[in-house]
Structure 1
Amino acid sequence: MNPASTPTMPAKTGHPTGLYILFLTEMWERFSYYGMRAILLLFLIDNVRGGMGLSAAEGGAIYGIYTSSAYLLPVAGGWIADNLLGQRRAIWYGGIIIMLGHLILAIPGGTVLFYLGLLTVASGTGLLKPNISALVGELYPEGGARRDAAFSIFYVGINLGSLLGITIVGYLGQKVGWHYGFGAAAVGMLLGLIVFRTQGAKYLADLGNFNPSGAEKKAGDSSQNRAVLTFLAVLVLILGTLQLTGLLDLTTAVGLAQAMGIFILLIAVGYLGFVLLASDMTDVEKKRVVVLFVFVLASAAYWAGNEQQGSSLQIFADRFTDLELFGFSIPSSWFQNLNPAFILTLSPVLASLWIFLANRKISFPAPAKMATGLLLLGLAYLVMVVAAKAALAGPRTTPLYLVVTYLFFTLGELFISPVGLSASTKLAPKRYASQLMGIWFIGSSLGNLIAGLFASGFDEKNVQQMPNLFQSVATFSLVASALMLVLVKPLRRWMGGVE
Structure 2
Amino acid sequence: MNKGFFGHPAGLSTLFFTEMWERFSYYGMRAILILFMTASLAEKGLGIDPQSAGAIYGLYTAGVYLLTLPGGWLADNILGQRKAIWYGGILIMIGHLILAIPGSPGIFVLGLVFVASGTGLLKPNISTVVGDLYPEGGARRDQGFSIFYMGINLGSFFGQIFVPFLAAYNWHWGFGAAAIGMFFGLLQFRLTQGSLNDLGLKPKLKEEVEEGVAVGKVNGVLAGALGLALVGFLAVLQWMGTIDVTTATGIAQAVGVIIVVITLFYFLYIMVAGGLNPDEKKKVLVIFFLFVGAALFWSGFEQAGSSLNLFARDFTNRMVGSWEVPAGMLQSANALVIILFAPIVGWIWVKLAARNLNPNTPIKFGIGIILMGLGFVVMYFAAQIAATGTKVGMGWLWFTYFLHSIGELTLSPVGLSATTKLSPKRYVGQMMGIWFVGASLGNLIAGLFAGGVNTENASQMPALFLSVVTFSLISGTLFIIFNPILKKWMGNVK
Q: TM-score, normalised by structure 2?
A: 0.87
Among all aligned residue pairs of Structure 1 and Structure 2, give the percentage whose two residues are the same amino acid: 50
**Alpha-carbon distance in 2 for matches of 1:222, 1:125:** 24
Listed one character per residue, the Cα deviations across residues 121-145 of structure 1 (whole Å, up to 9, x for unaligned) are: 1111112222223333444455554
Q: Does 1:78 align with 2:72?
A: yes
Mapping of residues 211-222 of structure 1, within 5 Å: 211-212=204-205, 216=207
Among 181, 184, 193, the alignment partner of 2:177 is 184
CA change 1:29–1:495 in 2 (3 A) is farther
Question: Is the CA contact (8 Å cut-off) linking 1:370 and 1:415 kept in structure 2?
Answer: yes
Residue 165 of structure 1 and its aligned partner are, at CA, apart by: 0.8
Q: Which residue of 2 aligns with 1:159?
A: 153
Q: Which residue of 2 aligns with 1:16?
A: 9
Question: Is the CA contact (8 Å cut-off) linking 1:310 and 1:336 kept in structure 2?
Answer: yes
Q: Does 1:101 align with 2:95?
A: yes
Among 439, 444, 452, the alignment partner of 1:449 is 444
Q: Does 1:174 align with 2:158?
A: no
**Greater mean deviation of Cα atoms: 23-32 or 306-315:** 23-32
Residue 105 of structure 1 and its aligned partner are, at CA, apart by: 1.4
Instruction: Return the letter of the residue paired with 1:104.
Output: I
Among 334, 337, 354, the alignment partner of 1:339 is 334
Among 54, 57, 60, the alignment partner of 1:60 is 54
Question: Is the CA contact (8 Å cut-off) linking 1:388 and 1:467 kept in structure 2?
Answer: yes
**Alpha-carbon distance in 2 for matches of 1:21, 1:210:** 20
Residue 26 of structure 1 and its aligned partner are, at CA, apart by: 1.7
**Alpha-carbon distance in 2 for matches of 1:429, 1:27:** 32
**Alpha-carbon distance in 1 for matches of 2:213, 2:439:** 31
Question: Is the CA contact (8 Å cut-off) linking 2:296 and 2:472 kept in structure 1?
Answer: yes
**Alpha-carbon distance in 2 for matches of 1:380, 1:84:** 44
Residue 285 of structure 1 and its aligned partner are, at CA, apart by: 5.1
Instruction: Return the letter of the residue paired with 1:165.
Output: G
Instruction: Return the letter of the residue paired with 2:205.
Output: P
Q: Does 1:45 align with 2:38?
A: yes
CA change 1:102–1:334 in 2 (3 A) is same
Among 382, 405, 413, the alignment partner of 1:410 is 405
Any idea what SS the aligned residue of 1:252 has? helix
Q: Does 1:131 align with 2:158?
A: no
Listed one character per residue, the Cα deviations across residues 41-60 of structure 1 (whole Å, up to 9, x for unaligned) are: 01101112221101111111
Q: Which residue of 2 aligns with 1:31?
A: 24
Question: Is the CA contact (8 Å cut-off) linking 1:82 and 1:435 kept in structure 2?
Answer: no
Q: TM-score, normalised by structure 1?
A: 0.86
CA change 1:376–1:283 in 2 (3 A) is same
- Root-mean-square deviation (CA), in Å? 3.1
Residue 181 of structure 1 and its aligned partner are, at CA, apart by: 1.1
Instruction: Return the letter of the residue paired with 2:336.
Output: A
Q: Which residue of 1 aligns with 2:368?
A: 373
**Alpha-carbon distance in 2 for matches of 1:134, 1:281:** 26
Q: Which residue of 2 aligns with 1:361?
A: 356
Runs of 5+ consecutive residues of structure 2 not aligned to the other structure: 231-243
Residue 496 of structure 1 and its aligned partner are, at CA, apart by: 4.2
Instruction: Return the letter of the residue paired with 2:95.
Output: G
Q: Which residue of 1 aligns with 2:289?
A: 294
**Alpha-carbon distance in 2 for matches of 1:285, 1:309:** 37
**Alpha-carbon distance in 2 for matches of 1:85, 1:486:** 46
Question: Is the CA contact (8 Å cut-off) linking 1:82 and 1:434 kept in structure 2?
Answer: no
Residue 330 of structure 1 and its aligned partner are, at CA, apart by: 0.7
Instruction: Return the letter of the residue paired with 2:315.
Output: F
**Greater mean deviation of Cα atoms: 134-143 or 356-365:** 134-143
Q: Which residue of 1 aligns with 2:186?
A: 193
Runs of 5+ consecutive residues of structure 1 not aligned to the other structure: 1-6, 240-248
**Alpha-carbon distance in 2 for matches of 1:472, 1:221:** 39
Any idea what SS the aligned residue of 1:52 has? coil
Q: Which residue of 1 aligns with 2:235?
A: none
**Alpha-carbon distance in 2 for matches of 1:222, 1:470:** 41
Any idea what SS the aligned residue of 2:187 has? helix
**Alpha-carbon distance in 2 for matches of 1:192, 1:431:** 34
**Greater mean deviation of Cα atoms: 17-26 or 334-343:** 17-26
